[in-house]
Structure formats: structure tokens, C-alpha cells
Amino acid sequence: MLQGKVLVAQGGGPTAVINQSLAGVVLEGRKFQPCEQIYGARHGVHGIVDEDFIDLTQETSDHLERIAETPCAALGSTRDKPDLAYCQEIFKVLKAHEIGTFFYLGGNDSSDTLRILSEEAQKEGYGLTCVHVPKTIDNDLMINDHTPGYPSAARFVASAFAGINLDNEALEGVYVGVVMGRHAGFLTAAAALCRTFPDDGPHLIYVPERDFDMDQFLGDVKAVYDRLGRCVIAVSEGIHDASGEAMMTKLADTVERDAHGNVQLSGTGALADLLTGAIRDNLGIKRVRGDTFGYLQRSFLGCVSDVDQREAREVGEKAVQYANWRGGSGTVTIHRVGNYATDYQFRPLTDVAGKTKVMDLSMISKSGNDVTQEFLDYGTPLLGSGMLTPARPRANPVAKILGA
């Protein structure tokens, strides 16, 4: 049962729908009498240690609905990954404010924080329920069919590559688009979801699940370019060579690392510039362009999957229902039913905490430079409604008069 005060916070990278989960927790939580108050912590665990709380029981329902439709973490987020000492600080604050249930909206790092925290509470005999509400555009949480945030980011990437393909068709040349994804290629793979015609790009897709080889890459590009006179390529920022070293790390003079020890991959155009340079220098193709999708893909206003919105709301709502009627700490997981519906389960935090799921190799073509039909079947229903299907003029050639 929801007891005492409830705290909700958001961690990790923002998504288009994480505020739907926030609204789900708050609106559902306010329905239960034993729940005294619902606090929101500003900037995740960082705000807890600082006792930087706002009282969400004072928010109007209409305003919560408007916040739900706004992308990015409305409470603020953090990249802090608490160790044991940090978790003990958090715990001290939760006790002082008599927090009975803590909902943390985040990815695998956030669920690991909850795991440590719930273990700490148990050791001290404090009745704290820790509930993880899944979100990550990386789609890399174990057990989950997919994670809230991914479908909208996938819709962005698919829409971007559909447009880029048309642009490249109109003006030709070679285009490289670098997509977020350190270990998991799900988001990059989404580039394939809007292909309509047989010659539509992206013609080549490289994900971190397979080793990247520059010679093989250049050969692939040449083959497509020779066949079509153009080539659109989608690449994960996390692609690495056979030794496991990220292509990005090879480039950076000074490598920036975050609190989790991860090398900073986004927010720089270096990888796209490396790849376009290699194509220009080695294949002698003149018009070679590269873009790094960067932060646009996780926060763009107005690019959202309605499937994702609905599910993000539901995992927030389910988190409260599980905490109230089932009890104990855990994580809400999403499961696919048929084509296409979802169901939810409540699982132990250790099922997802600190673990990373990557693409099943059956979703990647044997050649390592494309996705399979299995991935297309997996990803297509996630994009949601209202996707435009590009049209092109039909072939009605006019006979030449002057030419051969």
C-alpha cells in the first residue's frame, strides 16, 4: 500500500514522453488516500541530497496533462550515478522527509541506484519501497520488449532518414547520419523503418553489435554508389573496431568521460566528419555530407509516437498500482502481446539494474550493414499513427528528340 509520502524523480537523458510517466505517477498516486503527499525531486538524485523538492499535490490536473505533453524531464535530470556513500546520503534525506515510496523514472543506471537504495533501507529496517519506471531512448533495458522514449526517438530517426533519402534522391551524392547509441543499435536501426521504394535509403546501416571495419565500409559504400549513383548511410555513434575501441575514441585528442566512466560520444560532429572524409579521400566521390543527429533526436518538440505516449503514461500508472496493491520494490516491464498490444509486469530490480540489452543478431543482416525483416516487424508498430508515406512521380518518360 502507498504509505507516507511519495517521492518521484527523473534520471538520465530526457525523452519525448518521460513527463507522461511523471503525470501517470502523480495523477494515479493522488487517487489513493494513504498517500499523504507527492513530492518531486529537482534534478534526480542530486535534488534529493539537496532536499530540493516541490510539492506535486499542489499541481492542477490540467497542468499536469500539459506537462505530460512537453518533452524532456520537467523535474530536471542528472547524470550522477550514486555509489554506496551517495545512496546513504539519499537515504538520510528520504528518512527525514518520511518518504515511504520512491518512484525513479530512468534507465539501467537509475534502476541500479534504486537497487542499492532498497538494499540500504532493508539493512536499516526502514520501510522504503523503491519503484523503477522504465525510460530510455537507447531501448537497452533487459526483459522489456522496448522502453518508453524509444518509440518517439525511433520516429524522429525514421522521419529524418525518410527526408534525407528524398533529399539525397533529389541532389544525389553520399550522406552519413550519425545516430545516438553507445552499445545498442536499436535507434540507428530505426532509420530503416520508413523505406518505401526498393532503392530507398538508408542503404547501409552500422550498429555497435557488429565490429566496424573501415575497408569493408568503404567497399559497401562504393558498391551502393556504383549501383544507384547515391548512398545514404546510418551509423551508431558507438561503432567500434574488432578490438572494441570506439571509432570516436580513435579520433578524440582528449576524451571526455561522464560520471559513469562513459566516453562522451554525442555533442560533437567528429565521427560524421571522419567517415565523410574517408569516403571523399578513398572513393573520390565529390558530394559527401555528414550530420550528427545529436540532441535533436531525444527532445524535438512535436515529434512523438502516440503509442509511446500511451505506454509511458501506463508504466507510470502501473508503478503506482503495483506499489499500492502488490507492494515491495521492483521495476515495471513492458511486454508485447500480438501485433500490437502491450502488457505490464512487476519484476525484481535486479532483473534490469545495471544491465544492458543489445539487438538480437537475428535483427541484423548477415552482411552486418542492414537490418532484417524481423527488426522491421518489431519496430514498425512502435512509430505510432500519422506517419507519412512518401510518394514519387510515376515513370512516364518522354521520348528524346535531340539526344541519342
Question: Which residues carry out catalysis?
Answer: 138
261 HSE (CA, 13 A, CB side) = 3
Judge whether 14 and 106 are in contact, CB under 8 Å: no
Strand 330-337 with 341-347, pairing = antiparallel
Q: Nearest approach, Cβ of 242 to a copy of itself (angstroms)? A: 26
Residue with Cβ nearer a copy of itself (32 or 295)? 295
Residue with Cβ nearer a copy of itself (21 or 159)? 159
Strand 173-179 with 5-10, pairing = unpaired
Judge whether 206 and 174 are in contact, CB under 8 Å: no
Q: Nearest approach, Cβ of 100 to a copy of itself (angstroms)? A: 15
Omega cis (within 30) before 340? yes
Q: Nearest approach, Cβ of 280 to a copy of itself (angstroms)? A: 9
What CA–CA distance (Å, rounded) separates 299 from 354? Answer: 24
Q: Nearest approach, Cβ of 27 to a copy of itself (angstroms)? A: 14
| 264 Cβ contact list (under 8 Å, min separation 6) | 255, 256, 257, 258
Q: Nearest approach, Cβ of 115 to a copy of itself (angstroms)? A: 23
Residue with Cβ nearer a copy of itself (242 or 399)? 399
Q: Nearest approach, Cβ of 283 to a copy of itself (angstroms)? A: 15
Residue with Cβ nearer a copy of itself (218 or 270)? 270
The string of DSSP letters for 93-150 reads: HHHHTTEEEEEEEESHHHHHHHHHHHHHHHHHT---EEEEEE--TT---SS-SS-TTH
Q: Nearest approach, Cβ of 261 to a copy of itself (angstroms)? A: 15
Positive or negative torsion for Cα 185, 332, 44, 308: positive
What CA–CA distance (Å, rounded) separates 303 from 156? Answer: 6
Residue with Cβ nearer a copy of itself (303 or 315)? 303
Report residue 322 as a C-alpha cell. 503495483
Judge whether 179 and 234 are in contact, CB under 8 Å: yes
What CA–CA distance (Å, rounded) separates 319 from 308? Answer: 16
Report residue 274 as a C-alpha cell. 571522419
Strand 99-106 with 5-10, pairing = parallel
First to last CA, the chain: 82
Amino acid at 235: V
Residue with Cβ nearer a copy of itself (330 or 379)? 379
Residue with Cβ nearer a copy of itself (85 or 388)? 388
Cα–Cα separations (whole angstroms), residue 224 to 206, 229, 381: 15, 7, 29
